[in-house]
Amino acid sequence: MIYEFKIAFKTIQKEGIGSLFKKVFSYFGQMVKALRFLTLRKPFDGTPDEVVDFSFNSAGGLIYPGQVRSEFVQIAELIKKQKPRVIVEIGTANGGTLSAWCALAAPDATIVSIDLPGGIHGGGYAYWRTLIYRQFARPKQKLHLLRADSHRPDSLAQLKKLLPPEGVDFLFIDGDHTYEGVKADYEMYSPLVRKGGVVALHDICLHPPEMDCHVDKFWAEIAEKNHACRELIENPKQGGFGIGLIQF
């Protein structure tokens, strides 16, 4: 609830009490959608297209991946093929990608998603959403939702306690999109990836300056040094998005 109170206080300060009432109304609207979501059939073992469609369209946009569909389908196809048993995601936001990882991973996979309440570039979600996100997991999957700063050493230590000894099969970095932020996430978490595993960085395309997104700069450095890189980009001039893959 601390996160919700902070958001309310900031809204009153910046936008006034009227804006707060509008957001409260929207907030309860989201909760109504959440109740509807609980009745939906999850696309376990669905095709990549079906899984991606669910993440875009279920319950009136309650969850949403923030991805270019064609790029998302390609990475979904990769996950479907490899059936990873250990997935770590940096940046949960609206849960759209997390929904897909759970649907496509191994039935007994361990999946951890880290998100900073109030973080930049879409970070932070209301606590009640954890009840929705936990519905993504299959009965034998272990899903852990860490509401924490991925850059803190204690967050890394907490994650390590949750992971099996064989290492991470798939690491998806989509949190702090500043150059320093994405570099820190990569340097802290990529050593956990096993040989043969995959690291994916989101938003590798050049973004407008006002978005303060510089994953493209860090990706260029990685791609220059590592020939086992692959880019999933629908249109190089699309002004954002794009996924970079690194095979370990």
Domains and CATH numbers, the chain: 1-39 (no CATH), 44-247 (3.40.50.150)
- Which of the pair, 31 or 211, is modelled with greater confidence? 211
Would you give the DSSP letter of residue 137? Answer: S
Q: Give strand ranges (E) for 131-206.
A: 142-147, 168-173, 193-202
Q: In sequence order, what are the residues at sequence separation of 6 or more whose Cβ sits closer than 8 angstroms to the Cβ of residue 183?
A: 218
Q: Give pLDDT, residue 224.
A: 87
Q: Give pLDDT, residue 26.
A: 62
Tell me the average pLDDT across 90-118: 95
Of these ranges, 8-17, 24-33, 38-47, 121-130, the one predicted with the greatest mean pLDDT is: 38-47
**Which of 197, 199, 194 lies closest to 167 in space, CA to CA?**
194
Give the range among 16-25, 124-133, 221-230 with minimum mean pLDDT: 16-25
User: In the structure, what pLDDT confidence band is assigned to residue 212 with cuts at 50, 70 and 90?
Assistant: confident
Q: Give pLDDT, residue 20.
A: 47
Q: Give pLDDT, residue 40.
A: 86
Q: Give pLDDT, residue 9.
A: 56
Q: In sequence order, what are the residues at sequence separation of 6 or more whose Cβ sits closer than 8 angstroms to the Cβ of residue 236?
A: 205
* Rg of the chain taking only CA atoms, in angstroms: 18
Report how far apart, in Å, the C-alpha atoms of 150 and of each of 36, 138, 142, 172 are.
31, 25, 20, 13
Model pLDDT for residues 21-69, shown as the tens digit of each residue: 555 556 666 777 888 888 888 899 899 999 999 999 988 888 999 999 9
Give the range among 12-26, 116-130, 158-172, 203-217 with minimum mean pLDDT: 12-26
**Paired strand residues for 199:** 171, 246
Q: Give pLDDT, residue 209.
A: 84
Rounded to an integer, what distance in angstroms lies between the CA atom of residue 58 and that of residue 24?
Answer: 22
User: In the structure, what pLDDT confidence band is assigned to residue 245 with cuts at 50, 70 and 90?
Assistant: very high
Tell me the average pLDDT across 85-103: 96
Rounded to an integer, what distance in angstroms lies between the CA atom of residue 130 and that of residue 147?
Answer: 10
